[in-house]
Homo-oligomer: A and B are copies of this chain.
């Protein structure tokens, strides 16, 4: 069975379950409900009560917030081995954002109460959850800092650099972002308009740093990209 393979292949690499024994892991994974989500469908809605949390086995989720004015802000993308809804469930809060599948996605999910029981039996899980939350907060703080000091071009470069790490796939040409990523999406990640993203990518393409396509970005020269991301304001 396909999903069983996936489950096995993840073992020992899930941050939330790090440091647990094989048996513990088996038991935990067995208690999870399998779930499948077709591309474009929504896993949970911003503001809804956090019923359960989810471990991604395969696929990819987009976590985004909708503003009152109708525009979207992409908080992050989540890939295999990452958890969604963890923060909300742990704190007993409503989901802070909406999660949508950008590819067909397989999940394991646990109910709210189950997490409590698990954390009680294996306290390491609670520690891991804390660490994950800490990491996510760090990311958000970095992002606030970027939005405050850096130019749009720099932020786009950073966003791409992060996506390379998270979802990069080696090809003959370079490293391709391995899912459908429109200019609009990139714009919503860095806080600009699709126009500016388009222009920026076009100018990079002329210099041979990236190669674009419809909902597709390939990085040809990662080094130049990160040098754009890191370069400070003073030096031109």
B-binding residues in A (CB < 8 A): 65, 67-69, 71, 73, 75, 87-88, 90-93, 96-97, 120, 123, 126-127, 129-138, 140-141, 143-145, 147-149, 191, 232-234
Contact = CB atoms under 8 A, between A and B. Distances in A.
A143 B75 CA distance: 11
A71 B148 CA distance: 10
A147 B145 contact: no
Copies in the complex: 2
Nearest to A119: B126
A69 B134 contact: no
B232 A91 contact: no
B138 A96 contact: yes
A232 B143 CA distance: 23
A144 B140 contact: yes
Contacts of A91: 127, 130-135
A132 B126 CA distance: 15
Contact of A147 (B97, B135, B191): B191
8 contacts: A65-B145, A90-B134, A96-B141, A120-B123, A133-B137, A140-B141, A147-B148, A148-B191
B134 A137 contact: no
A150 to B, nearest CB: 9
Contacts of A127: 90-92
A164 to B, nearest CB: 21
A233 B69 contact: yes
